[in-house]
Homo-oligomer: A and B are copies of this chain.
């Protein structure tokens, strides 16, 4: 990490990481799903910070090849032994129930029950996260150790759930900019008590949106908190005319752990957001990296389907599926840290800075170098190198109207912020026009 670009966090800076963590902690206990009260309650909590609009799409509504399913309500679930002890209790962890399980209550032989129980034998203390949204079924998730301890022949099981006509809900917040051109920032809201995936993304984007309120921007910023797949499809179906307005987009998830950052490119691979994020993460060694698009992941799958092909990438710290805590009960509030959340927050703010400020300036004295020393912009002592003038030399050299500031950052290997600052100084000196 380049200390001159990413200084040691100040007290103020640390605060945003703490704030994000606190908000993530607030929504962490809620049992979310692709529909239901958990999503609405989460949106209500996020809505304390921004003016969030809730959209409700009725059960049965067609969204492209899909149909909004019945709404799922879950009240309680348990496995109870003959002695009345709950050997599994939904109240202890909402991961214990396969998400979208149908209601069931009966006595069942342990043999039959095990056909509906999911564990992680290689991580015997952890509860896996499983779902069955579109196939009517029921099941329990538990630690292998808990399962091994179930020595009775029969248990009483209960899933006090309900599937009924209702709505799919998603939340939307728009920060209006000077133009209609949009930057879409979205996080999935369907996962229950998993902190990194995706309380981290929901909390981060909410507070980033709040902090953007006071800022005048060229782009319009749209924040979308929708259930995975069906939620983004519902938004797309309702907003097809907006798709061509989206110039940049990020799906944000798993942004609180210590890994990465990992930027997954959009299907296009060379959109401005792809280049900006690849640039930014490349300045965060040793683990910062950009990886190519693939059609499995989060909602970039839908945004990047061939009928939309939007410039929407995915920002994560560790890539989903690559960390052992992924989709388990170990993805808890200890797994995400304020300092990692802060770094992710700053990365997105930096990406916003790039799309807001990128331009193709024009050197007004393009023949030879202007005399920077006379203007106090160059070391007076010759013979010992360019010192801090290097970003200015790059900007002057490449300001031919064909190179954008991001082009200059990429070619020079210097952080965009250094290039931007140099361009601003040179403009102020009258050496550069701002270009377009």
Chain A residues at the B interface, C-beta cutoff of 8 Å: 63-66, 98-99, 118, 128-135, 137, 229, 232-233, 236, 240, 267, 294-296, 301-302, 304-309, 321, 327, 363, 365-371, 373-374, 380-386, 390, 393-394, 396-400, 412
Known: A294-B412, A384-B130. A369 touches B135 (CB 8 A): no
Q: Provide the main secondary structure of the chain A interface.
A: loop
Known: A64-B367, A134-B371, A365-B65. A384 touches B307 (CB 8 A): no
Q: List 15 A-B contacts (CB under 8 A).
A: A64-B367, A99-B382, A99-B383, A240-B367, A295-B369, A295-B396, A296-B385, A296-B386, A296-B390, A302-B369, A306-B399, A307-B363, A307-B367, A327-B383, A327-B384
Closest CB of chain B to A98's CB: distance in Å? 8
CA–CA, A249 and B164, complex, Å: 62
With a CB–CB cut-off of 8 A, which chain B residues contact A393? 295-296, 301
- Taking each of A305, A382, A399, which has the highest tally of chain B beta carbons within 10 Å of its own beta carbon? A382
With a CB–CB cut-off of 8 A, which chain B residues contact A131? 381-383
Closest CB of chain B to A240's CB: distance in Å? 8
With a CB–CB cut-off of 8 A, which chain B residues contact A366? 305-308
With a CB–CB cut-off of 8 A, which chain B residues contact A301? 369, 393, 397
Residue of B nearest to A302 (CB): B368
CA–CA, A308 and B394, complex, Å: 15
Known: A321-B385, A397-B306. A64 touches B368 (CB 8 A): yes
B134 touches A363 (CB 8 A): no
- Report, nearest first, the 6 A-B pairs whose CB atoms are least far apart: A307-B366, A131-B382, A307-B367, A295-B397, A295-B393, A135-B380
A305 touches B380 (CB 8 A): no
With a CB–CB cut-off of 8 A, which chain B residues contact A412? 294
CA–CA, A321 and B133, complex, Å: 60
Closest CB of chain B to A143's CB: distance in Å? 16
With a CB–CB cut-off of 8 A, which chain B residues contact A128? 383-384
Residue of B nearest to A397 (CB): B295
Residue of B nearest to A303 (CB): B368
Additional A-B contact list (4), CB under 8 Å, known A134-B373, A232-B368: A65-B365, A134-B374, A236-B367, A307-B368
With a CB–CB cut-off of 8 A, which chain B residues contact A267? 397
A382 touches B295 (CB 8 A): no
B397 touches A132 (CB 8 A): no
Closest CB of chain B to A411's CB: distance in Å? 8
Closest CB of chain B to A119's CB: distance in Å? 12
With a CB–CB cut-off of 8 A, which chain B residues contact A295? 369, 393-394, 396-397
With a CB–CB cut-off of 8 A, which chain B residues contact A327? 383-384
- Taking each of A131, A295, A304, which has the highest tally of chain B beta carbons within 10 Å of its own beta carbon? A295
